Chain A
Amino acid sequence: MGAVNNMTQQTNDTFNIAGKDFSSRLIVGTGKYKDFEETARAVEASGVEIVTVAVRRVNVTDPNQPMLVDYLDPKKYTYLPNTAGCFTADDAIRTLRLAREAGGWNLVKLEVLGDQKTLYPNMIETLQATEVLIKEGFDVMVYCSDDPIMAKRLEDLGCCAIMPLGAPIGSGLGIQNPVQIRLIVEQANVPVLVDAGVGTASDAAVAMELGCDGVLMNTAIADAKDPIAMARAMKLAVEAGRLAYHAGRMPKKLYADPSSPLAGLI
Chain B
Amino acid sequence: MIEITLNGDPHQISEGQNLVKLLQELNLDPTKVAIERNLEIVPKTTYQDVTLLKGDKLEIVHFIGGGK
Contacts and interface: CB of A to CB of B under 8 A. Distances in A.
Contacts of A94: 36, 39
Interface in B34-68: 34-36, 39, 41-44, 59-68
B59 A64 contact: no
Contacts, number: 118
A69 B32 contact: yes
Interface string A100-119: 11110000000100000001
A28 to B, nearest CB: 8
A57 B67 contact: no
A94 B44 CA distance: 16
Size bin of chain B's contact surface: 20 to 34
B39 A68 contact: no
B60 A52 contact: no
A111 B65 CA distance: 16
B61 A219 contact: no
A264 B8 CA distance: 83
Contact of A98 (B6, B7, B36): B36
Contact of B68 (A29, A36, A69, A99): A29
6 contacts: A52-B67, A55-B66, A56-B66, A68-B63, A97-B36, A101-B35
Interface of A: 28-33, 36, 39, 52-58, 60, 63-64, 67-69, 79, 81-82, 84, 94, 97-103, 111, 119, 143, 169-170, 195-196, 217-219, 222
Interface of B: 6-8, 11, 26-28, 32-36, 39, 41-44, 59-68
